[in-house]
């Protein structure tokens, strides 16, 4: 096993050609501060930082898929793997610098991920 968290956020990171370090920094701050955890009144008012939860970052190039035409996804908008690996690692490093409970998947690996999704609650965060 490479990484594990308990309560927290599993963030699947899709990296496209125009993405850059400034966007990665902004995304990390948004993930850490996004208020999606329940407060004492059951309202989504608390962030990952507020609850002290874990953050797992996993690269997921299929998020860059264009599914608008035909019956086969196109990945032409995905950043080339060598560049994407660098930007993904930058994102992991930026998150780790700002928050102590960060783990990551292995870039471009065939991973088996188990998720117990509370809700289910899923958000698409874009910069």
Pure H helices in 66-126? 81-98
User: Could you list the active site residues?
Assistant: 60-62
Class of domain 8-104: alpha beta
Sequence ranges of the domains in the chain: 8-104
In order along its 127 residues, the chain shows pLDDT tens digits of 578 899 999 999 999 999 999 999 999 999 999 999 999 999 999 999 999 999 999 999 999 999 999 999 999 999 999 999 999 999 999 999 999 999 998 998 888 888 988 878 899 998 7
Sheet holding 8-13, edge to edge: 8-13, 54-59, 102-104
């Amino acid at each position: 096993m490479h990484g594990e968290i308990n309560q927290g956020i599993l963030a699947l990171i899709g990296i496209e050609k125009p993405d850059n370090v400034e966007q990665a920094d902004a995304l990390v701050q948004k993930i850490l501060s996004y208020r999606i955890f329940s407060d004492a009144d059951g309202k989504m008012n608390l962030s990952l930082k507020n609850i002290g939860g874990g953050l797992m970052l996993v690269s997921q190039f299929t998020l860059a898929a264009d599914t608008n035409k035909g019956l086969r996804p196109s990945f032409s908008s995905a950043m080339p793997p060598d560049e994407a690996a660098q930007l993904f690692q930058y994102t992991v490093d930026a998150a780790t610098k700002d928050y102590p409970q960060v783990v990551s998947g292995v870039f471009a690996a065939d991973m088996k991920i188990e998720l117990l999704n509370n809700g289910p609650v899923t958000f698409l965060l874009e910069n």
